[in-house]
Structure 1
Amino acid sequence: MTHYVDYIADQKRAPAIVAHRGAWHGAPENSLAAIERAIAVGANVVELDVRKSADGQLFIMHDATLLRVAGINRDAETFTMAELQAIALREDDGGEHRATTDQRIPTLKQALEIIRGRIFADLDLKDRGLFSEVAACARELNAAPYVDLKTRVMTREELNWVRAQDIGGVAFMAMSKFTSGTIHDTLALLSEIKPFMCEMRFDRLETVIEHREAFRDAGMALWMNTLNMEASGEWVDKTALVDPDRIWGRLIDAGVSVFQTDEPEALKAYLEARRA
């Protein structure tokens, strides 16, 4: 398996599929089973959320509390790792109507053991202060070539913060918004750290289309979330399931080459049909 940065930089590759919190239709989100399922359905990247337990262990969990995924209304980070791993996760994306499973909350090390050499991982830190610690963990497990870390970069202060982190060997992805009035300033700022990819938002799709050459010259792939959330605007999975050309197709044509989705199987089927 090639290095994450080399894979993303390959101009001949198909658009990459990122399974949000793993492929959780059929496995608890952010579980080891969801990672295995992401691999099985053909996702290229799995997005995982990282937190730190009361006894200093890095673990995988999105929400601050365990209410949705396990029915426990208490902050996840107040538990020790042993306590967390005794808790059964609910099916799929949780909620009180979901049954419990045999899956437990994984440590970051357990997750990295699974992804190493099999799938890439986008590590979404709930506390960006964990950057250096997470990078060190990835290096320790020889998983650094397969993961990325990300945070917002829109100001000089945010750029300087990234520069101060010790993440050697781990790829960095910026999170930025591009608007017609600020895109040149934003690209100039990003050029100082040269992220291999950018998780982007934009004011209008035309802003992205009109600056495709600038993105290409920057050597920065474009990542788009089509998750069913307010920040995605009109670019959401629920619309893509009905009219994929309107969402995924238009974004691909605009130059987006990486998609984070809760519907990895549907996106894979669309990409295969588009190539046929």
Structure 2
Amino acid sequence: MTYKDFIADPARRCAVAAHRGAWHGAPENSLAAIENAIAIGVDIVELDVRKSADGELFLMHDDTLLRMAGIDRDAETFTMAELQAIALRADDGGEGRALTDQRIPTLKQALEIIRGRIFADLDLKDRGLFSEVAACAREMDAAAYVDLKTTVMTPEHVAWVKAQDIAGVPFMAMASFTENGTGETLAVLSELKPFMSEIRFDHIDTIAANRGAFEAAGMALWKNTLDMVSSGEWTDTAALADPDKIWGRLIDAGISAIQTDQPAALKAYIEKRA
């Protein structure tokens, strides 16, 4: 099944997306974190993509290697051979984490694991890599299993996306919805027909009230519940304390993909609800 077919399936449960892979027990953005997500039964892994000094695409979230490897230097100033010689710290890194046997993977290595086994949301640290990453996905026969995303709120955003060569790769918009602006935002998005949108909103009622409009647009809704300021009240910490109040309300409002740093807990909650 392709990513788009999976998301479009009206019978599926809410999809679980593991932020930077399932990193409890493996370094984030590592091949082991992807394998962990597959073992848990997660639907999607979110991975961060950068480009090395010698032109190779690789996985790493931060600008520097300080948190994940203890090296205070920009990741993109290393060659790929140098990057793959660096041991990653466990879990989400930091000074207290031990070094592991995991190395910084290339995007190609990640796609080799992903293809046919799990879907991937590719978060590009430089959106100028859109066409290059899409070409890599096609080369690896993984285009149908990944998405590319960027903010789409204006006609200028639409024009930028249309200028990229991402043929065969599903596109996910990143958009904000408000009580009075949802219709206008949907009109802008209609130019691209994204299969899914990673959303922010002013209030959960805005999403619930426009559920029919989102469905008519053929666009699934993705929400992050990460412990970040941008998540507002919708955080993993709050969800672990009261999953019905956070994950349950999101699902009831029509959100059908949730990105989390607690993928095992979210998966168990969704299965319990079913």
Please classify the TM superposition score into its range, dividing by the shorter chain length.
Answer: over 0.9
Look up the match of 2:26: 27
TM-score, normalised on structure 2? 1.00
SS in 2 for 1:121: strand
Q: Provide runs of 4+ in structure 1 moved above 4 Å.
A: none
SS in 2 for 1:260: strand
CA RMSD of aligned residues (A): 0.4
Number of aligned residue pairs: give it: 274
Q: For the residues of structure 2 that align with 1:248 and 1:145, how far apart are their CA atoms? A: 28
The residue that corresponds to 2:201 in the other structure is 202
Instruction: Report the counterpart of residue 152 of structure 1 in structure 2.
Output: 151
Match runs of 1:60-79 below 5 Å: 60-79=59-78
| One-letter code aligned to 1:142 | D
* TM-score (normalised: structure 1): 0.99
User: Match of 2:250?
Assistant: 251
Question: Any residues of structure 2 matched to 1:19-168 within 5 Å, and which?
Answer: 19-168=18-167
SS at match of 2:92: coil
What does the per-residue CA deviation read over 1:1-40, in whole Å, with 9 as the maximum and x for residues that have no partner?
x010010000100100000000000000000000000000
Give the letter aligned to residue 192 of structure 1.
E
Distance in 2 (CA, whole Å) between partners of 1:114 and 1:230 is 32
How far off its partner does 1:268 sit? 0.8
Q: CA deviation at 1:192?
A: 1.0
Q: Structure 1 CA distance, aligned partners of 2:144 and 2:158? A: 23
Aligned partner of 1:215 in structure 2 is 214
- Distance (whole Å) between structure 2 residues aligned to residue 204 and residue 247 of structure 1: 13
- Find the aligned partners of 1:220 and 1:124 in 2 and give their Cα distance: 19
Q: CA deviation at 1:181?
A: 1.8
Q: Deviations over 1:63-91 (max 9, x none)?
A: 00000000000000000000000000000
Offset at 1:123? 0.3
- Structure 2: give runs of 5+ residues left out of the alignment: none
Corresponding letter in the other structure for 2:73: R
| In structure 1, distance between residues paired with 2:77 and 2:45 | 26
In the aligned structure 2, how far is the partner of 1:209 from the partner of 1:273? 22
Q: Which amino acid aligns with 1:202?
A: F
Distance apart, 1:146 and its partner CA: 0.2
Q: Provide Cα deviations, 1:139-192, integer angstroms capped at 9, x if missing partner.
A: 001000100000000111111000100000000000000011211110000011
Partner-residue secondary structure (3-state), 2:165:
coil
Q: Secondary structure at the match of 2:214?
A: helix
Output aligned runs, 1:4-23, within 5 Å: 4-23=3-22
Alpha-carbon deviation of 1:222? 0.2
The alpha-carbon deviation at position 110 of structure 1 amounts to 0.1
Query: 1:149 corresponds to which letter in structure 2?
Result: L
- Give the unaligned 5+ runs of structure 1: none
Q: What CA distance in whole angstroms lies between the structure 2 residues aligned with 1:48 and 1:156?
A: 27
What SS does the corresponding residue of 2:113 show, helix, strand or coil? helix
Offset at residue 116 of structure 1 (A)? 0.2
Task: Give the deviation of 1:97 after TM superposition.
Answer: 0.4
Identity of aligned residues (%): 73
CA distance in 1, matches of 2:182, 2:272: 33
Q: SS of the counterpart of 2:134?
A: helix
